[in-house]
């Protein structure tokens, strides 16, 4: 399991689910929902920001993501994550990080 901060997303009236229209991503033992540059997960009756607290480089990642690579793209803060093989990848310092 990855190190994830418990940062509650307050005042989140929208209820995510399979038909809510937001991208859903399998992440460890839960589903994340991406919208408005945030990635949310259900937690104890509220929504949390699902953000890693560690820096984890995705080793041996030869594939170069980009606008036409075919993987789902999710706006995440000031960058784009690419959903690939059950991970969200983001470009960082010449390599790819697991998000």
Q: Model confidence over 52-61: pLDDT tens digits?
A: 666 677 777 6
Structure confidence by residue, pLDDT tens digits, 63-91: 788 889 888 888 887 888 888 776 788 88
**Quick one: residue 51, left, alpha or beta (phi over 0 = left, psi -120 to 50 = alpha)?**
beta
* pTM passes above 0.85: no
* pLDDT reading at 4 higher than 70: no
Domain positions in the chain are 7-98
Gap between the Cα atoms of 80 and 45, Å rounded: 28
At residue 18 the predicted structure's pLDDT band, cuts being 50, 70 and 90, is: confident
């Amino acid at each position: 399991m990855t190190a994830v901060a418990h940062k509650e997303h307050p005042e989140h009236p929208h209820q995510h689910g399979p038909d809510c229209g937001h991208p859903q991503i399998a992440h460890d033992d839960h589903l994340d929902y991406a919208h408005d540059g945030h990635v949310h997960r259900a937690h104890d009756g509220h929504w949390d920001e699902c953000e890693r607290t560690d820096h984890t480089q995705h080793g041996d990642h030869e594939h170069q993501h980009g606008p036409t690579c075919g993987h789902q793209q999710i706006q995440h803060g000031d960058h784009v994550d690419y959903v690939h093989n059950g991970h969200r990848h983001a470009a960082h310092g010449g390599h790819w990080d697991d998000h």
